[in-house]
Amino acid sequence: MTPAISTVSLPSGEVVPALGQGTWGWAEDPHRRGDEIAALHAGLDLGLTLVDTAEMYADGAAEDLLGEALEGRRDEVFLVSKVLPGNATRRGTVEACERSLRRLRTDRLDLYLLHWRGRSPLGDTVAAFDDLVHDGKIRYWGVSNLDAEDLAELAAVPGGDAVATDQVLYNLTRRGVEHDLLPQCRDLGIPVMAYSPIEQGRMLDHPALRDVAESQEATPAQVALAWLLRQDGIVAIPRAGSAGHVRENHAALDLRLTEDNLAALDRAFPAPTGPQPLEVL
Ligand code: NDP
């Protein structure tokens, strides 16, 4: 049976799938293009309709690939892209967004994120996001790689309270955000988007993860994703370059980790006991 897609609410009340699809590294190898597009379509067919990209990925070519792959399917998708901090001035943000829209062959982004904090004042980027919302070019905006202090600063900027999400590195091996950032996002009423949810594949040979996977007759990637997906307010955006990996990741929606599983994972990947600097990739 196909597992139901669990969902997460944005502050507006709109719901998005808790499991999406990432695209970092796509469109870099022409030999993989067919597999990447097939993976994306397989995911959409399964309801994994939140798609994450960025102007940075393959220097715009990942957005180009999505523009081609989403021809005729744009309305099925909750499309997320990101502005580079070097472009995130008031005018530069608008221009970067317009370039992304052209590459993506669409008239609007569902969510537009500041990729990480750079030298532009947050207030200028927020003002540009406001303009883009007003002009119908983006529906929501958010941030990425902002730590708890940055987020507090953002909330104090005029219009900053309209932030819809913070997309950060979060997986079993990167739990620092549990100490302060996740509670802060809960207080702000915004979901967190967990990027690199399987640590780019590096965690998949961990013995504890393998043990839990074996006990569940699942794969380590599915356990890593189910561990994230069991939490409210978390969207996981794994990148899978084949339809097989997409189907495997989708099946993680059906995996229920037991108390014993969770305790074993806590022993192997301990929760933070104090504040830690936000990790980034
Ligand atoms: P992920 O943690 O999603 O790992 C991707 C790797 O895992 C790929 O090599 C993929 O291989 C492999 N993989 C996927 N599914 C499986 C599976 N079921 N079994 C075994 N291997 C699997 O890493 P990413 O860094 O790509 O993060 C996901 C997305 O998050 C990015 O693509 C991007 O959209 C976003 N991101 C955002 C950042 C930010 O700064 N805001 C930073 C980093 C990522 P294969 O291709 O063969 O399937």
57 is catalytic: yes
Is 90 exceeded by the pLDDT of residue 3?
no
pLDDT tens readout for residues 83-125: 999 999 999 999 999 999 999 999 999 999 999 999 999 999 9
Which residue's alpha carbon is nearest to atom 30 within ligand 1?
195
Residues 90 and 157: their CA atoms lie apart, in Å, by: 14
pLDDT band at 227 (very low <50, low <70, confident <90, very high): very high
- What's the confidence (pLDDT) of residue 4? 75
Please compute Rg for the chain using Cα positions.
18
- Measure 130 CA to ligand 1 centroid, in angstroms: 30
Which residues contact ligand 1 via a Cβ below 6 A? 22-24, 52, 115, 144-145, 167, 195-201, 204, 221, 237-242, 245, 248-249, 281
What is the C-alpha separation between 265 and 15, in angstroms, rounded? 29
| 6-56 pLDDT, tens digit each | 999 999 999 999 999 999 999 999 999 999 999 999 999 999 999 999 999
Identify the pLDDT of residue 73.
Answer: 98
Superfamily of domain 16-201+232-242: NADP-dependent oxidoreductase domain (3.20.20.100)
Cβ-Cβ contacts under 8 Å for 230 (sequence gap 6 or more): 256, 257
pLDDT at position 2, please? Answer: 67
Tell me the mean pLDDT in the region 216-233: 98
Q: pLDDT confidence of 5, banded at 50, 70, 90?
A: confident
Q: Which of 195, 205, 219, 279 to mutate to test the pocket of ligand 1 (most atoms within 8 A of CB)?
A: 195
Backbone angles phi, psi at 48, to 5 degrees: -85, 75
pLDDT over threshold 80, residue 1: no
Atom 29, ligand 1: residue with shortest CA distance: 22
Q: What is the mean pLDDT of residues 231-246?
A: 97
Closest residue by Cα to atom 45, ligand 1, is: 241
Q: Which of 115, 193, 196, 279 to mutate to test the pocket of ligand 1 (most atoms within 8 A of CB)?
A: 196
Q: What distance in angstroms lies between residue 224's CA and the mean position of ligand 1's atoms?
A: 12
Pinpoint the alpha helices (H) of the chain. Answer: 33-45, 61-69, 90-104, 122-134, 148-156, 181-188, 207-216, 220-229, 243-251, 259-268
Sign of the dihedral through C-alpha 190, 195, 197, 199:
negative
Instruction: Determine what percent of the chain falls in helix, strand and coil, rounding each to the nearest 5.
Output: 45, 15, 40
- pLDDT tens across 120-154, in order? 999 999 999 999 999 999 999 999 999 999 999 99
Most ligand 1 atoms within 8 A of CB, residue of 239, 246, 249, 253 to mutate: 239
Sorted by where each begins, the domain ranges of the chain are: 16-201+232-242
* Helix pair angle (33-45, 243-251), 10° resolution: 30
